[in-house]
Amino acid sequence: AMAGARVTRALLSVSDKTGLEALARGLVARGVELLSTGGTAAALREAGLPVKDVSDHTGFPEMLGGRVKTLHPKIHGGLLGKRGDAGHQAEMAAHGVEPIDLVVLNLYPFEATVAKGAAFDECVENIDIGGPSMMRSAAKNHDAVAVVTSPAQYEDVLRDLEVNGGGTSLALRRRLAAE
């Protein structure tokens, strides 16, 4: 297991922007590259933070009305690739897949959309596919990747990065994966 897994690249995609700017600033201050999509990327740019669109990272446009953004090997390979596995590393290098060490997401507010009595079609569009997929990929590889799903966790993550010289502890990654 990787003790202090260094965070070099983070993907942020949140519907709840609470605390986002402070977290992102803390990451950028540690030299972390930020990847993002849609409204989250816009919020980060508005805050004057450097951010790379997921579509620029993957070389593939957001398509099907935003239904396909993060469902791409450069995202899931970056999350799932085993850091200490020479075979995985060679495949990642061969296909230009760069590791993603931290994922910050909260799922589309599907329940809230249904609760407010939204039309069936709007409810269907609020079924999140990319979010849960990234959550599972990151949690599966929590040996190297931290998955952050709530603004309540941001402070712990920044503190952990501080204590571990820009990395996250296995204890934190395990806790986050379980949450």
> What is the rounded average pLDDT of the residues 147-155?
94
> What is the rounded average pLDDT of the residues 71-80?
87
Q: pLDDT at residue 138 above 60?
A: yes
CA distance 147 to 153: 10
Among 53-62, 68-77, 146-155, the range scoring the smallest mean pLDDT is 68-77
Q: pLDDT at residue 69 above 80?
A: no
pLDDT for 1: 44
Q: pLDDT at residue 6 above 60?
A: yes
Q: What is the pTM of this model?
A: 0.89
| C-alpha distances out from residue 93 to 57, 77, 86, Å | 15, 11, 10
Q: pLDDT at residue 55 above 80?
A: yes
Three-state secondary-structure class, residue 171: helix
Q: pLDDT at residue 22 above 90?
A: yes
CA distance 156 to 118: 35
Return the closest-CA partner of residue 11 out of 87, 88, 82, 76: 76
The Cβ of residue 14 has, within 10 Å, a number of other Cβ atoms equal to 23
CA distance 167 to 143: 12
pLDDT for 109: 66
**Measured on CA atoms in the order 96, 101, 104, 108, is the torsion positive or negative?**
positive
Average model confidence (pLDDT) across the chain: 87
57-71, 73-87, 117-131 — which one is most confidently predicted on average? 73-87
